[in-house]
Amino acid sequence: MKKLLYIVAGVVAALVLAVVVFTAVFDPNDYKDEISGAVKDATGRDLVIAGDIGWNLFPNFGLGLADVTFSNPAGFAEPIMASLKKLDVSVALLPLIGGNLEVSHIAVDELSVKLTTLPDGTDNLADLTSASSADKPVETQPADSSSSKGSLASVKLGAIAITNISLAVDNQQTMSQQQVTLNYFKLNQFVPGERSEAALMAEVKSDDTDISIAIESAITIAEAFDLIELHELALQADIKGPSIPNGELNKKISGHGLIDLAGPSVDLKDIQIEVGSLTGSGWFKFQQQAVPDIQMALAFDTLNVDEFTPVSNGESPEEAKKTPGDPDAEPDLSALKSVNFDGDLSFNKVLVAGLTVTNVKLHANLKDGVLDANPIHLDLYDGTADARAVLNAQQPVGSYRSEFKLNSVQALPLLTDLAELTMVSGNANFDMDIRGTGLSTNKLKTASTGNGNFAFKDGALEGVNIAQMIRSAKAMLKGEKASEEVKKTDFSALTGSFSLAKGVVNNPDLKLASPLLRVDGKGDMDVVASTLDYAASVEMVATSKGQGGSESDDLAGLTVPLKVSGPLDDLDYGIDMSAALKGEYEEKLEQEKEKGLKKLSDKLGGFLGGNKDDKN
């Protein structure tokens, strides 16, 4: 046994002595010029090693490199394309005897690379890629059992520290610039089958947007190098820029899961998400294939859409209206064909443009360029809304169809919060089916087709009192003045159907019923101009006492034409009272005419000396 120990000790001593002699005799700095010359011959570029190439002997064998630069090709203003401040690599010697590679540490500091594209499209990588493709391909022999005899039994990496790495992209053709900085990447060890601690911090600057990312995670890499287990993933991202709501947005994501390198695929569980004030949880799966596949289920608390709406870069609403986008421009939907997706989203509450909805649930499926959102459900204003929307991006110009239904929704607060309209109140039920081809602003307004129906119960037309308008018009014809009343027309039911074509909504069968009056109407709404043109017939079926009138002001039996027109937010109501009362006043005129003729006859008879009692 002692002899074996002596032999091993002797081999180790000889190996250490050989390394010492080798490093003492061989100075890599003597070969700087040869290394630079070889790079020059291969690439036409200058590689300059200004610092020393040094050996590290204790406690591990290693190599250090410092102050290295690599030049740009001719024609570029900046002389340097890449530079490296420091590189250190250390390897444990003794494990190599058994075929085990143990790298005690790797350190890289201040590596800088700048990729430049000139206005003519030439970039500073073109000559390198063309040179590599021109090289003769290396012929490889089929692997056999003998080739594996020289392979390493195991690989272990110690601490890895990569700091201050920067990549700058300057595209002078598109006038865009990006800067990616890896502040640090740290790994305490890389040992397959054992837990490692990793941390990363990076920054991305693109035009006027800055993104900083920090990641910490405990990981285990399988011995077969085919699986990475994420034990405690924590990611934080801060986004800043004038186009970001409030100038800044913070994101935090945590969870655990698996990364299958053979798939490759990602499976994350128990995800916790914080984006601004939005918080949620769920799971996420990603499978890389010909068309990447994503599956997920996320549940959130309260979403304030305004918080995530981009700011207007200082433009006032009036200025924004002066410079609208192209109303005929079709959106680019090609991204919908680049991924398949199936997932569920839910929100306890959503706030958008003054509208408040709760219990929001959405299932969406995207496959082969067809996005099908079904079902869509939400609770709002004492009722519910259910919908389905399909967007087809398989053709160059996208098409869509949607089904939408409101059930027992309070109309007045909904319209007020949604569009600041106070047109109608009551319990609303609404069905609509709409479809079209083309998603430009003009196509959506003019090329959509569809139909639907509506029914309001126990409500009122807000802003107009039809009965009072009729009383006022009648009083004016009599030279009288009617009293002012609340501008509201109560009803027990308001129903109708509609169709949409060529930018016009047509309603042929409006019916309003109340204890006081009945209304039958028809008309059009111009979607493009947001105007209404409506004609209705109002029949008074009872005394007006029930809505501000008096018994002596009985309008029962009177039928009045009603005209409603103008912008939706400022409608004009017109009563044609002369037409309504024409028959009544014609009869009175005839009566007055007969009375006048009789008086004239009596006067003429007296003048001629006759007597109205004479029979002759």
Of the candidates 232, 145, 247, which has an alpha carbon nearest to the alpha carbon of residue 195? 232
Distance from C-alpha of 86 to C-alpha of 531, rounded to nearest angstrom: 71
Q: How far is CA 136 from CA 131, 133, 300, in A?
A: 10, 8, 57
How is residue 242 annotated by DSSP? T
103 Cβ contact partners less than 8 Å away, ≥ 6 residues apart: 89, 90, 91, 92, 156, 157, 158
Within 395-554, where are the H helices? 411-419, 441-446, 466-477
If you average pLDDT over every residue of the chain, what do you get?
A: 80
Please determine, for residue 539, whether its predicted confidence score (pLDDT) is greater than 50.
yes
pLDDT at residue 184, as a whole number? 93
Model confidence pTM above 0.85: no
Q: Which two tokens stand for residue 467?
A: 């009965």
Distance from C-alpha of 385 to C-alpha of 373, rounded to nearest angstrom: 14
Mean pLDDT score, 140-151: 48
pLDDT at residue 146, as a whole number? 45
Q: Which two tokens stand for residue 229?
A: 């287990």
User: Residue 4, CB half-sphere, CA atoms under 13 Å: how many?
Assistant: 1
Task: Provide the pLDDT confidence category of residue 560 given band limits of 50, 70 and 90.
Answer: confident
Q: Which two tokens stand for residue 557?
A: 């039996």
Distance from C-alpha of 173 to C-alpha of 119, rounded to nearest angstrom: 4
pLDDT at residue 5, as a whole number? 46
Peptide bond into 119 cis (omega under 30): no
Of the candidates 517, 506, 613, which has an alpha carbon nearest to the alpha carbon of residue 558? 517
Task: Provide the pLDDT confidence category of residue 103 given band limits of 50, 70 and 90.
Answer: confident
Distance from C-alpha of 286 to C-alpha of 21, rounded to nearest angstrom: 54
Q: 145-173 b/e with 16+ CB inside 10 Å = b?
A: eeeeeeeeeeebbbebebbebbbebbbbe
Highest averaged pLDDT of the listed ranges 129-143, 163-177, 582-596? 163-177
Distance from C-alpha of 383 to C-alpha of 357, rounded to nearest angstrom: 10
**Which 3 state secondary structure label does DSSP give 346?**
strand
Task: Provide the pLDDT confidence category of residue 101 given band limits of 50, 70 and 90.
Answer: low
pLDDT at residue 106, as a whole number? 86
Distance from C-alpha of 95 to C-alpha of 156, rounded to nearest angstrom: 10
Strand-strand pairing, 383-392 and 370-380: antiparallel
pLDDT at residue 443, as a whole number? 87
Task: Provide the pLDDT confidence category of residue 313 given band limits of 50, 70 and 90.
Answer: low
Mean pLDDT score, 509-537: 89
- Burial class of residue 531, CB neighbours in 10 A (0-12, 13-18, 19+): middle
Within 29-125, where are the H helices? 32-43, 94-97
Q: 569-600 b/e with 16+ CB inside 10 Å = b?
A: eebebebebeebbeeeeeeeeeeeeeeeeeee
Please determine, for residue 516, whether its predicted confidence score (pLDDT) is greater than 60.
yes
Phi then psi dihedrals of residue 205, to 5 deg: -120, 125
Per-residue pLDDT tens over the stretch 91-100: 776 665 566 6
Per-residue pLDDT tens over the stretch 58-70: 556 677 888 999 9
Distance from C-alpha of 393 to C-alpha of 333, rounded to nearest angstrom: 6
Please determine, for residue 2, whether its predicted confidence score (pLDDT) is greater than 90.
no
Instruction: Kindly report the number of other CB atoms within 10 A of residue 26's CB atom.
Output: 10
345 touches 367 (CB < 8 A):
no
Instruction: Kindly report the number of other CB atoms within 10 A of residue 234's CB atom.
Output: 15
566 touches 532 (CB < 8 A):
yes
Per-residue pLDDT tens over the stretch 69-87: 999 998 898 999 999 999 8
Task: Provide the pLDDT confidence category of residue 270 given band limits of 50, 70 and 90.
Answer: very high
Lowest mean pLDDT among 16-25, 455-464, 486-495, 560-569: 16-25
365 Cβ contact partners less than 8 Å away, ≥ 6 residues apart: 341, 342, 371, 372, 374
- Burial class of residue 217, CB neighbours in 10 A (0-12, 13-18, 19+): buried
